[in-house]
Amino acid sequence: MPHITNIEDLRVLAKKRVPRMFYDYADSGSWTESTYRANEADFNRILLRQRVAVNMEGRSTRTRMAGQEVAMPVAIAPTGLTGMQHADGEILAARAAKKFGIPFTLSTMSICSIEDVARGTDHHPFWFQLYVMRDRGFIERLIDRAKAANCSALVLTLDLQILGQRHKDIKNGLSAPPKLTLPNILNLMTKPRWCLGMLGTQRRQFGNIVGHVKGVENMGSLAEWTAKQFDPALSWNDVEWIKKRWGGKLILKGVQDIEDARLAVDSGADAVIVSNHGGRQLDGAPSSISALPAIADAVGSRIEVHMDGGIRSGQHVLKAVALGARGTYIGRAMLYGLGAMGEAGVTRALEIIHKELDLSMAFCGRTDINTVDKGILLPGSWQHLESRQ
């Protein structure tokens, strides 16, 4: 643990310990992966403005996201198959988030169910991410289950009406649990820690779906059902219906266009997440950080603007806040920690990001995250990102 000093260290360790198909699922994008790479690369092109002889005492990274007090402007993003990075992964990540004081968001396509996570965290409020399926009865039941689990916000993903082409997943024959083909067996033999963990849990399928949909009782029927269920006809009318059915805080994920951000405001949502699905949907779309400033300027006074995509450090969080984000989300950084060391690895990832955020904020002459704005960025180092759109 003392030698884990940054998120890259966790990524390298996770790659050693997690089976190839699940590591590749986390660490890849769609098509040529150009948007996936741009998400992080564009962050690194933005330069910070160092200040000196400023009182750096009494620093605070505390703020609020969607009405909830948070230890720093970071939430754990919803990621599918988290429980395949490490046994009971969603429960472990939720526990780490609870102890750290930030939100955890559970994916519809999680291995541990809503109920598993609620029990595993002593019913600590967490957020639930919803995909819109053709089976509206299933969606209604999911929303009701999230309410029963005391979820405090619903994150509705808008950018997965159809599935992007993810070449590594196709080549690896991604499935949960993994199919016992010869290449998979040979790869699993090199991951004894992972295998022992999986032998010790019964949670190896999509817990929010299997047993909750008529006729879906195994991987074969699940794959067939899922392939038919993502709804390409999703519309803003569905968003309004879901908000009414849910009745609580609603966050819309997957916004990249100013006009869509305005429609999100009109729908009555409480927040939008500027996101390109981690570069896993439309390859060739702009990076999230380059799309953020224009959207924040257009609607930031009317709705909370959050962002995800490419965050691998506390400096990335700081830059996103400077460009208008009221909150950020980490997906891969959390998955690397989880795959590397379970709950302790997620905690370590959060510690790393928080320390980098705290120190970088101080070097830029600010002691309160709520006062951070574009003034901490070197003039001319970020405007070129907007001009590329």
Does 116 count as an annotated binding residue?
A: no
Does 253 count as an annotated binding residue?
A: yes
Does 309 count as an annotated binding residue?
A: yes
Q: Give the end-to-end CA distance of the chain in Å, rounded to a whole number.
A: 41
Does 329 count as an annotated binding residue?
A: no
Backbone φ, ψ for residue 60 (5° rounding): -145, 130
Secondary structure letter of residue 215 according to DSSP:
T
Does 200 count as an annotated binding residue?
A: no
Q: What's the sign of the alpha-carbon dihedral 319, 322, 323, 329?
A: positive
- Residue numbers annotated as active site: 277
Question: Contact, 338 vs 79, CB < 8 A?
Answer: no
Give every CB contact of residue 279 below 8 A, 6+ residues apart in sequence.
29, 30, 33, 34, 35, 36, 37, 38, 39, 285, 309
Does 131 count as an annotated binding residue?
A: yes
3 state SS of 124: coil
Does 173 count as an annotated binding residue?
A: no
Does 352 count as an annotated binding residue?
A: no
Does 157 count as an annotated binding residue?
A: yes
Question: Contact, 305 vs 326, CB < 8 A?
Answer: yes
Does 388 count as an annotated binding residue?
A: no
Write out 242-304 in H/E/C secondary structure.
Answer: HHHHHCCEEEEEEECCHHHHHHHHHCCCCEEEECCHHHCCCCCCCCHHHHHHHHHHHHCCCCE
Does 336 count as an annotated binding residue?
A: no
Does 107 count as an annotated binding residue?
A: yes
Check whether the bond before 177 is cis (ω within 30° of 0).
yes
Amino acid letter for position 118: A
* Distance (Å, whole) CA 301 – CA 284: 29
Does 277 count as an annotated binding residue?
A: yes
Does 30 count as an annotated binding residue?
A: no
- Residue 163, Cβ neighbours under 10 Å: how many? 13
Does 203 count as an annotated binding residue?
A: no
Does 129 count as an annotated binding residue?
A: yes
- Label the pairing between strands 63-65 and 68-70: antiparallel
Binding residues: 25, 78-80, 107, 129, 131, 157, 166, 253, 275, 277, 280, 308-312, 331-332
Binding residues for FMN: 78-80, 107, 129, 157, 253, 275, 308-312, 331-332
Binding residues for glyoxylate: 25, 131, 166, 277, 280
